[in-house]
């Protein structure tokens, strides 16, 4: 886990938008995208979030003040890979302000902090930690290759029984894989389908 002063985090970008995918799709959300990633998906659509620069360090209190200026009640901490950092300070301060908090993570590191919704989106490139399987409220598997369906089932069998199971086509291969996902879900009704609706709506 990277070491920064507990007052700061490396923020690549932050913005108020609509959650575009997964369980909370369609919900207004303030996104905090932390810089730094230890996974490096080949198809990542935010590769600029992989590197960390000292110029990205942002005072947590200033970030929260900006969030408070919106009508937002729901905050999503994402990346990069947000579990690279100790999130105790920011999650405690957000909860003090009565914000609901979700995290989007590949589960490659232990989560340090208090969140309300754990979206677990594992990748084949790096093995998740055991905590991710235990904490996951939502399992979101990106389908990028035919072998991902069997892998998704294997991962799902290691999560809690009440964990929501979601399949989502990799954006550039949506036309290819969406028909297969539809048929798979029809045969395996414990799964649901997610699309990146924020890209369809042309919003961040």
CA angle 163, 166, 169 (to 5 degrees): 160
| Confidence check: pLDDT of 41 > 90 | no
Residue 26 has pLDDT above 90, yes or no: yes
Give SS3 for 185: helix
Q: Nearest CA to 68 among 27, 102, 30?
A: 30
Domain ranges for the chain: 8-200
| Phi–psi pair at 130, nearest 5 degrees | -60, -35
Over 90: is that where the pLDDT of 13 sits? yes
Q: What is the DSSP string of 96-153?
A: HTT-EEEEEE---S---S--SEEEE--BTTBPPPHHHHHH-SEEEEEE-STTHHHHHH
- Tens digit of pLDDT for each residue in 47-91? 787 788 889 999 999 999 999 999 999 999 999 999 999 999 999
The DSSP annotation for 43-98 comes to: T-S-GGGSS--GGGEEEHHHHHHHHHTSS--EEEEESS-GGGS--HHHHHHHHHTT
Q: Which residues contact 138 (CB under 8 A, 6 or more apart)?
A: 22, 23, 117, 118, 119, 120, 163, 164, 166
pLDDT of 90: 97
Q: Report d(CA 189, CA 76) in Å as an integer.
A: 27
- Evaluate the omega torsion of the peptide bond into residue 80 and state whether it is cis, within 30 degrees of 0: yes
% residues pLDDT > 70 (the chain): 97
The pTM is what? Answer: 0.94
**What is the architecture, at CATH level 2, of domain 8-200?**
Alpha-Beta Barrel (3.20)
* Radius of gyration (C-alpha) of the chain in whole angstroms: 17
Answer for the pair 155, 141: CB distance below 8 angstroms, yes or no: yes
The vertex-44 CA angle with 152 and 143, nearest 5°, equals 25
* The pair of three-digit structure tokens given for residue 184, joined into one six-digit string: 């798979």
Residue 151: closest CA among 171, 134, 127, 176: 127
> pLDDT band at residue 38, thresholds of 50, 70 and 90?
confident
Average pLDDT (141-154) is: 97
């Amino acid at each position: 886990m990277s070491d920064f002063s507990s007052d700061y985090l490396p923020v690549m970008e932050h913005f108020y938008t609509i959650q575009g995918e997964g369980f909370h799709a369609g919900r207004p959300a303030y996104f905090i995208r932390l810089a730094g990633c230890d996974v490096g998906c080949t198809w990542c659509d935010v590769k600029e979030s992989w590197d960390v620069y000292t110029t990205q360090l942002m005072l947590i209190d200033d970030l929260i003040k900006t969030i408070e200026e919106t009508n937002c009640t729901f905050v999503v901490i994402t990346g990069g890979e947000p579990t690279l950092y100790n999130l105790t300070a920011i999650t405690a301060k957000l909860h003090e302000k009565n914000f609901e908090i979700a995290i989007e993570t590949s589960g490659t590191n232990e989560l340090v902090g208090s969140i309300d919704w754990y979206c677990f989106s594992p990748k084949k490139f790096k093995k998740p930690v055991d905590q991710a399987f235990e904490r996951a409220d939502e399992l979101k598997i990106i389908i990028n290759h035919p072998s991902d369906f069997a892998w998704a089932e294997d991962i799902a069998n290691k999560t809690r029984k009440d964990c929501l199971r979601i399949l989502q086509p990799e954006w550039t291969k949506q036309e290819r894989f969406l028909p297969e996902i539809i048929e798979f879900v029809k045969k395996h009704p414990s799964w649901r389908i997610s699309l990146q609706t924020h890209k369809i709506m042309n919003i961040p």
